[in-house]
Amino acid sequence: MNPANPHAGEVIIPIDGVPHVGRLTLGALAMLEAELNTGTLTDLVARFEGGAVKSADVMALVVAGLRGGGWTGTAATLLAADIAGGPLGAARIAGQLLARAFSTSDGAQ
């Protein structure tokens, strides 16, 4: 597997020991916003920045990132999977997905 390209918004998401490339494409972001049904993506970013992120936010972000990277699994599959680093690892991955989705390759946000 090729390493993730952070300039393309990509993040490696290790599931059950297998690395997957994830990224939040426009389609993945639209799916995420519809699934969360709790406001805008700006609200989600604010929850992450304020430390008020919920486990459902983390799971939805990881699933959206995986789908944006071409993964065809389901959220139910991911519930039974092992994400490297456990809940904290998943939260870190979710934060990276968000940060990379909203930054430019020159570092501006």
Question: Is 7 a domain residue?
Answer: no
Give all strands (DSSP E) within the chain, no chain letters: 11-15, 18-22
Domain total of the chain: 1
Mean pLDDT of the chain: 86
Summarised one tens digit per residue, pLDDT across range 80-109 is 999 999 999 999 999 999 999 887 655 444
Please give the Cα distance from 96 to 101 (Å, whole number): 8
Question: Is 106 a domain residue?
Answer: no
Give residue 109's pLDDT: 47
Torsion over CA: 55, 68, 42, 105 (sign): positive
Which range in 7-21, 22-36, 48-62 is most confidently predicted, on average pLDDT? 7-21
Question: Is 109 a domain residue?
Answer: no
Question: Which domain range does residue 53 map to?
Answer: 20-100
Question: Is 84 a domain residue?
Answer: yes
Question: Is 108 a domain residue?
Answer: no
Question: Is 9 a domain residue?
Answer: no
